[in-house]
Structure 1
């Protein structure tokens, strides 16, 4: 991938358009990007990333604030990038989503983001589309051509030295996260999770199978009421239980047989004793019954005489009953006639009037018939009267409603006008609110800078004081070093003279004669003293450089604050901010009521339209109600005159008609009752004569004598039943006594208690024996069934357990546990291999930049307390021959190691992803920690990259780099924004 041109408009700190021609500035393969802190050097790298992927690295991408705040509203934020990748030349144009001020009117609007990709080397007609405009299509195309994601691109093309220094010193967990992001090893993590999920499912199956075996063993233990021995196999324990069950069943069956024999013998003995006792009891009862019959023979003869008399008096009793019924019917007819007369008299009829009751009844019915049509008219009159009252009330209600609507219609226009004024006020406040908020945030930032300016001045003065102290200390240490070296040189001859030996050549001149050796000084300087002075000079020199950097940073901060504040003072900013905040609060309060005000206006407008329609409908309804009321009033008046004549003094026509119908009914009932009373009198006289004739014919001297001998049906049936029962008992007792005398029974009945107790005892014993046999047989059957069930469950458990054990061991190995001695998961193993490749690739560059002193050492050993291994990265120091932790490197050494690691990682990631050759790299900061000699080595390494055809862009403040790199781009910062100045290209 090689970059050609970059154009940035209203992006970051650049308010207008700035262009970077990478072909021109990178013609030598190396260029420098420098400028003030915060001027926007890194923003150019962000623009490259945004053009490619639509996002920028780190926290700047999270903020999603890419537009320049000082750009005019008419200027569109845009990034254009031309590059060549995989042999294709492309142009990418992206616009971020941002909020801008409206071009017309107040307020802001949302500017939507856009993107386009144009193929510059494939015109239409060659099977390649001229361009793409959908964000997802552009993203997939860029990622396919580059062969890496935006995270990988940020890490291997835009080399952030701070992040690689942290990576160099990170623990294995943090290092693992970065490597995963770069090498895309998520699929190996998916494999680990797949194994863990398979193991979880297999464990569930194993638990289910083991649970079934355990459940069967529990049921066996409950059935046999015995626990299995601790070491004995379940199969042997189950076989022993079944043998014991069969033995218990045999014993129970033998006990049952003996108990049944004893029970049958006792049952037979009890039956014989019970039969003899019952026969003796029967004999005693028959003898007592015979004696009772002898005593009741006189009663039986009397019963025969009474039955004969009752049979003779039966016809007389029947005639008497018929006469009594007729006399009762005569009394009832007389009462009905009296009641009918008492009912007819109150209705206005009198027996002295001479009218026949039936004739008067016919006349009353005829008059009631003429009143029938008027009854329905009277009911209609009541309904119409109620309706007339309802219509009068309805007229009053509708008149009141019409008056209320008129009053509301008069007030509504003023309320609606007031509501519309409130809506316009809220909309105006809403349009001004965003501007007020932006102004408040700007003033708040300026006020914070104004309040921080005194502290920045104090910090600058303190840094200058410290710099003066450290300059003095460094100059004193340098002077001490010069003095020590001078004294060391002065005493060097005496030091060499001490080593001369007569006859041996001098180490300086080679002479074997030593005529005048120099004498030692009184205060000789040793090599250790010179080393201590040198070390002190270096420490004070380093402290001086730190102080210089602190003064430079403090001065830059003070200048930044003063340039930002301009003529503003803290009191003026505070006063201006308070005014803006007050205006903003008022606008927010009004805006918060905007929805309510709009709803009120809408409601009043709807109410106004509804009022007009309701008034029209109500006026029409009132006219119809009044017309209906007047018409109904005339009808009610005419009908009332006809009904008044028909009532004839009664409360209503229906009441008078009911009176006439009641009179007709009463007179008809009176006529029928008189006829029935005459007929009942004749029948009663005939029945009295029939009773007297029946008594004389039956031979009784009088009717009362015949009635005294008569019996009713129940008494006669009871008398015959008593006679038949006596005869039947006598025959039965006589036959029973004959059978008893033939049986020759003993005088005393046998005792049944002992025989019954013996039989019950043997019955209980037999029942218990039968129950024991059944329990023993049941236990045997259940043990046989459970044994077969256990065998099936145990056979099913074995392959499940074997499969789980195999999967469990394999899952542990894949996840860095169990038999995995290195404690490395599959993912860590892959990352360790990649890290080893990175260490090999980075070692060549690190060794060259450190003149062969340092090289990377990768270790796959496990860490302490079970920490997973595979991601340890240390440094071998060739001076001491010891492997050192990267955390022990100095600042300059850390920069060299980080740069080598970043370049090596870039090469490995590009090769791993199969992406495009990275012809353009950017290195952001870190050169300020290097001395001149080390900087030469680093530049040589960068020359190697340049010799391979790559273009390397450096982002740095280091002054010496400006002297070494002729092709430069300077970023200038101003109050209105930043700008670019190409130098040497």
Structure 2
């Protein structure tokens, strides 16, 4: 990433818009960001980090505190950063959530946070992301880092530059994974692990399936089934047992069949005898109904003879009913005719009355025609009167005196507002001068806070130094004791080994140690003979204590340096505070701080009051503008009222004269009365015409009704005469039929109810005849079958039969169960053989994949806790360490070099990417966090530069074109600072841009390109300066 431009507005200490064009550096690849404390140097780096990631660079700085305290309420806080990645250019604009003045009305409104990412395409900026998630993903994709990684590689923040140096293996692995795009190795690790777990799970599933199959096999509890061979033996042992079961089944089936045959013969015999008995009973019942059948036959014969008479009787009754209906209809028609003739007389009379009024109605039509001819003149008169009324009403609205009075009141209101506004302006100007002191007071409080923090740090370091001295004293004693013990055990071990060699020494034979033939003093057995393991343990204890002592001494040196640095800082800060605050002393710190706090509270309250006054002033100014406009409008209105009143007076006179002329010509006093009469006359004529039409229609309808009713009466009279003659003929034939069978009409009518039931009687008679014939046939058949059936001699009881059936069912069930179990065992054996065959191949695969998985994921068969990706990253880290040491050894005068910790020793946790510092003065390596402040800065800077060199050499898509360093140079002595500067100067040849924040005076003279930050009462400013 290479910066092109940075724009800040109302950001941190910068009130106004600050635009920084990095092209101004004119080829200078190193520049110094300089300025007084608190002016806003780090805020420039915060702006870059906030634009990219939506958060400031430091952990203590929060997003909601980046808006400038100097900003005007209507000014929006915004940042814009343009940069290049290789040949591509990008621009990011970001606004935080903030309170700004409303565009309309008064008060504040909350502006939501927003961000937009642009890319330069074909010479134009094109939006590529606006949503929060899309912006975050786009920035990480473009830059190649998360924020925490960016702060370890590109921007080294104040107080946080040592993170990359002292990071754990896990943290450093995540960073290197992102930088060098080693996702391929991680995916390979995961793929091998998944394959191994899948294969191992396959074996477990196979074993589980075999166990399930074995458990499903039926067997005796005393004979467990554990293997496939057990299953085969079980199948072989079951074959003879099935033959026995088959013989038992055949015998049981034969016995049940014999019993069934005998029981069937008895059932047939009993059934035949019962059928004969039932047939005899049914025949007796039918014979008992013979008298009833004979009586019913005689009645049916008698009723059948009445059929001809009954037909004439029905015909006579129908004719009588028809005649009665016709007579009734004739009477109704005659009544309707009388009614219609009465209605006709009434309609005729009503029509004659209306005809008598025709002459009067004709005179009314003539009058209506005359009135309608005068309608146009009357309408004109009515319109003229309405216009006159409107003009008179409108003239009343124009009051010249009232308009003059309103204009006078408006002018007085303007004068009062002008006086109030001038008073407010004087008060606000006075208050602003007073509140401008708040920034000076806050700066003094900030300096006091820093002094208090450093003082607390000095006290903490002093307590730590006391503890460290006490700890070193104890360690020194422990080291001395361990050394004495080690030397004693080594001496005793040598004596013991010499004693063992004494047994090998023979007289007149050379000594196996020195070769001498004389042995004046052979070694004696020592009182204590330690083992080699005990000596090694004592040696390890001594070495561990020496290493611990060296580390503690290094930590003590670090504390001594930190205490000296802190004391120097305290002295400098106390001098600075004394020059800033008259009469300041450390003893008066609390009183001074309390006084400044009171000033801040008073000035903050005054600022709030001033803001209220400013709002009031703005409202008054708006009221003044409105009042001045109102006075102008009132003056114009006054002139308009006078002019319009005169014009209306002239027009009223003209319209009044025209109204008078029309009223005289028409001789009508009341237009509304005339209009009412005209309407009533029209309604009267219309009603008369409608009544005449209705009367004529009703008269014609009545005449048609009378004519129709007369025709119906004549028709029904003729039909009644014809029907009466027909009825007399049928009556005569009916009486003759009764005489033929010697019955009178009353006797015939008594038999009518039975005659109508004749069909029912015939059906009952048929049923009785059929029942008798059927019962006789059934009895004869049963008697014949009984005669041919022989009674059995032997019998089988129900108990004996049920016992035989139960025995047969039990044996058949046992045989079916036996076959089912055998089939189940055979199926289980087939499954087990398939599973066992697959198990061999699976075990080979698991063993092979297990070795690969251990090797790739840091298992027991590889490097313990070192994954394949971590191994690759370790090789890359070796390159980074090599590149870093080229600078670190020079800057530390060949004392320090970085090295990667050995990871072959096992242990827990992630390993393989830990860093240590080799101290050439002691010949031992130690943790990086034991370095002093200046040493830590040099090592961190060398590591960051080495990482940048290696990243640039890889084709990984990460561009390390820029690095920013915030502070740290103040911890270096002059000689080391010179070496560090030479190292940075050499980097300029690589084209990499380096930005440095520092208060060290030597850097100002060594670096010609400056980004100067200047602090003012109304906020800070920044600009590039080339010396």
Deviations, residues 607-647 of structure 1 (Å, cap 9, x unaligned): xxxxxxxxxxxxxxxxxxxxxx9999899756642564478
Is the 2:454–2:566 Cα contact (8 Å) retained in structure 1?
no
| Residue from 153, 157, 174 that aligns with 2:171 | 174
- 2:567 pairs, out of 544, 547, 550, with 544
Structure 1 residue aligned with 2:245: 252
Cα deviation, residue 962, structure 1: 4.3
Give the C-alpha shift of residue 799 in structure 1: 5.3
1:872 is matched with 914
Q: Give the structure 1 partner of residue 312 of structure 2.
A: 326
Secondary structure at 2:34's aligned position in 1? Answer: strand
Task: Note closer, same or farther for the CA distance 1:688–1:452 as it changes in structure 2 (3 Å cut).
Answer: same
Equivalent of 2:261 in 252, 265, 268 = 268
The offset of 1:42, in angstroms, is 5.3
2 CA distance for matches of 1:98 and 1:322? Answer: 120
State the distance in 2 between where 1:645 and 1:766 align.
110
Q: Distance in 2 between matches of 1:816 and 1:843?
A: 28
The change in CA–CA distance for 1:811 and 1:687 in structure 2 (over 3 A counts) is farther
The separation in 2 between residues aligned to 1:793 and 1:864, in whole angstroms, is 39
Check conservation: 2:888, 2:938, Cα contact below 8 A.
yes
What displacement does 1:46 show? Answer: 8.0
Structure 1 residues 575-611: Cα deviation after superposition (integer angstroms, max 9, x where no partner): 0234568899999xxxxxxxxxxxxxxxxxxxxxxxx
The counterpart of 1:183, out of the listed 172, 180, 183, is: 180
Cα deviation for residue 887 of structure 1 reads 1.7
Query: SS of the counterpart of 1:866?
Result: coil
State the partner residue of 2:57: 58
**What is the CA-CA distance between 1:208 and the residue it aligns to?**
7.8
How far did 1:260 drift? 1.5
Which sits farther off after the overlay, 187-196 or 273-282? 273-282
CA–CA distance in structure 2, aligned partners of residues 729 and 239 of structure 1? 69
Assess, with a 3 A threshold, how the Cα gap between structure 1 residues 960 and 245 changes in structure 2: closer, same or farther.
same
Q: Following the alignment from structure 2 to structure 1, what is the Cα–Cα distance between the partners of residues 1002 and 947?
A: 27
Q: Quick check: 1:978 aligned with 2:1021?
A: yes
Shift of 1:263: 1.6
Contact 2:46 2:57 in 1 (8 A): no
Q: Decide whether the 8 Å contact of 2:246 with 2:815 is kept in 1.
A: yes
Q: Quote the residue 1:641 is aligned against.
A: 695
1:35 is aligned to 2:30: no
CA spacing shift, 1:973–1:315, aligned 2, 3 Å: closer
Q: CA deviation at 1:926?
A: 0.5
* 1:777/1:553 CA distance change after superposition, 3 Å: farther
User: Are 1:837 and 2:836 counterparts?
Assistant: no
How do 1:80-91 and structure 2 match up within 5 A? none
- Looking at structure 2, the residues matched to 870 and 770 of structure 1 have their Cα atoms a distance apart, in angstroms, of 75
Q: How does 1:346-425 map to 2 (within 5 A)?
A: 348=334
Alignment of 1:385-534 (within 5 A): 449=439, 452=442, 455-456=445-446
Give the deviation of 1:664 after TM superposition.
Answer: 8.4
CA distance in 2, matches of 1:640, 1:17: 100
1:823 maps to which of 847, 865, 888: 865
1:232 maps to 226
**Pair 840,783 (structure 1): closer, same or farther in 2 beyond 3 Å:** same
Give the 3 Å change call, closer, same or farther, for CA 916–796 of structure 1 in structure 2.
closer
Report whether the alignment pairs 1:577 with 2:576.
no
> Within 2, Cα distance between the matches of 1:62 and 1:648?
104
CA distance in 1, matches of 2:567, 2:118: 50
* Corresponding residue for residue 650 of structure 2: none
> Does the 8 Å CA contact 2:49/2:57 hold for their aligned counterparts?
no
Distance 1:202-1:880 versus aligned 2 partners, 3 A rule: same
1:833 is displaced (CA, Å) by 2.4
Contact preservation (8 Å) 1:35, 1:971: yes
TM-score normalised by structure 2 residue count: 0.54
SS of residue in 2 equivalent to 1:36: coil
- Tell me how far 1:848 sits from its aligned partner: 3.2
What's the counterpart of residue 973 of structure 2? 931
Distance across 2 between alignment mates of 1:936 and 1:668:
153
Does the CA-based 8 Å contact 1:809-1:818 persist in structure 2? Answer: no
User: After superposition, what is the alpha-carbon deviation per residue over 1:870-916, rounded to whole angstroms, capped at 9, x for unaligned?
Assistant: 12112223333333222222212212222222222222222234789
Q: Distance in 1 between matches of 2:249 and 2:117?
A: 100
Unaligned runs of 5+ in 1: 119-128, 350-360, 371-441, 470-533, 588-628, 694-710
Determine the structure 1 residue equivalent to 2:656: none
Shift of 1:258: 0.4
Q: Give the alignment of 1:178-217 within 5 angstroms.
A: 178-195=175-192
**What SS does structure 2 have at the residue aligned with 1:182?**
helix
Deviations 1:333-364 (A, max 9, x none): 44554565456546547xxxxxxxxxxx9x99
Quick one: structure 1 residues 723 and 244, their matched pair in 2 at CA, closer, same or farther if it must change by over 3 Å? same
- Residue 832 of structure 1 contacts residue 860 of structure 1 at CA under 8 Å; is this kept in 2? no
Q: Is the 8 A contact 1:822 1:860 kept in 2?
A: no
Equivalent in 791, 795, 818 of residue 776 of structure 1 = 818
Change in 2 beyond 3 A, CA 1:681/1:816? same
The match for 2:368 is none
Q: Say which of 731, 734, 738 aligns to 1:684.
A: 734
Q: Which moved more, 1:841-850 or 1:313-322?
A: 313-322
- 2:903 is paired with a residue whose SS is coil
Q: 1:723 to 1:280 in 2, by over 3 A?
A: closer
Cα deviations by residue, 1:945-972 (Å, 9 ceiling, x for unpaired): 5788988664310234446667766543
1:760-799 superposed matches below 5 A: 760-785=802-827, 787-788=829-830, 791-792=833-834
Counterpart CA distance in 1 for 2:713 and 2:814 is 95
Inter-CA distance 721–444: structure 2 relative to 1 (3 Å threshold): farther
Distance 1:468 1:716 in 2: 138
Measure, in 1, the Cα distance between the counterparts of 2:807 and 2:848: 61
Aligned length: 731
Distance 2:879 2:292 in 1: 139
- Given the two structures, how large is their TM-score scaled by the length of structure 1? 0.55
| Corresponding residue SS for 1:58 | coil
**For residues 827 and 458 of structure 2, what CA distance do their matches in structure 1 show?**
101
Assess if the C-alpha contact under 8 Å between 1:192 and 1:826 holds in 2.
Answer: yes
Question: Does the residue aligned with 2:912 lie in a helix, a strand or coil?
Answer: coil
User: Contact (CA 8 Å) 1:855, 1:876: kept in 2 or not?
Assistant: yes
Q: Which runs of 5+ in 2 are unaligned?
A: 130-134, 345-431, 460-556, 583-594, 622-682, 744-759
CA distance in 2, matches of 1:921, 1:732: 126
1:899 aligns with 2:893: no
Change (3 A) 1:170 1:231: farther
How many angstroms apart in 2 are the aligned matches of 1:330 and 1:660?
31
Contact 2:213-2:828 at 8 Å conserved across structures = yes
For 1:876, what is the secondary structure of its paired residue?
strand
Distance 1:733 1:78 in 2: 120
Q: Is the 8 A contact 1:823 1:862 kept in 2?
A: no
- How far the C-alpha of 1:868 sits from its partner, in A, is 1.0
CA apart distance, 1:192:
4.0
Residues in 2 aligned to 1:796 and 1:934: alpha-carbon distance in whole angstroms? 70
2:1015 aligned counterpart, secondary structure:
strand
1:513 aligns with none
Contact 1:450 1:569 in 2 (8 A): no
Distance 1:817 1:715 in 2: 107
Cα 1:161–1:70 shift into 2, 3 Å = closer
